[in-house]
Amino acid sequence: MKKIQILGTGCPKCKKLAQSAEEAVKQLGGEYQIEKITEINEIMKFGIMMTPALAVDGQVKVVGKVLSPEQIKQLLT
């Protein structure tokens, strides 16, 4: 099972990225777990300075951008 982590404090862009991730997972229909990380100390452990960010299995893939469900699906496949 792949773990998708949305890193952000809950701003509108962070929420939009989470929605896109949920939609991508729904379309792919695979084994995915979405985790939202909102605690700033936890976010900083990933070494990023800008949110929102998206990590897959603990590896940061995108920082400071809101991806579409299509773009997230490309990252996951």
Q: What is the pLDDT of residue 30?
A: 82
**Average pLDDT rounded to a whole number, residues 3-23:** 96
| Structural domain count of the chain | 1
Rounded to the nearest angstrom, the gap between the alpha carbon of residue 40 and the centroid of all alpha carbons in its chain is 15
Note if 14 is an active site residue.
yes
List 4, 6, 14, 62, catalytic entry: 14
Q: What is the pLDDT of residue 2?
A: 92
Alpha-carbon distance 37 to 51, whole Å? 11
Q: What is the pLDDT of residue 77?
A: 85
Note if 29 is an active site residue.
no
**Average pLDDT rounded to a whole number, residues 54-69:** 96
Closest Cα partner for 22 from 54, 65, 64, 61?
A: 54
Give the domain CATH number at 8: 3.40.30.10
List 9, 10, 11, 65, catalytic entry: 11
Q: What is the pLDDT of residues 15-44, one digit of tens each?
A: 999 999 999 999 999 899 999 999 999 999
Which secondary structure element, helix H or strand E, spans residue 10, and what is its range? none
Strands laid side by side in the 2-7 sheet: 32-37, 2-7, 53-56, 59-63
Q: What is the pTM of this model?
A: 0.92
Domain that holds residue 62: 2-76
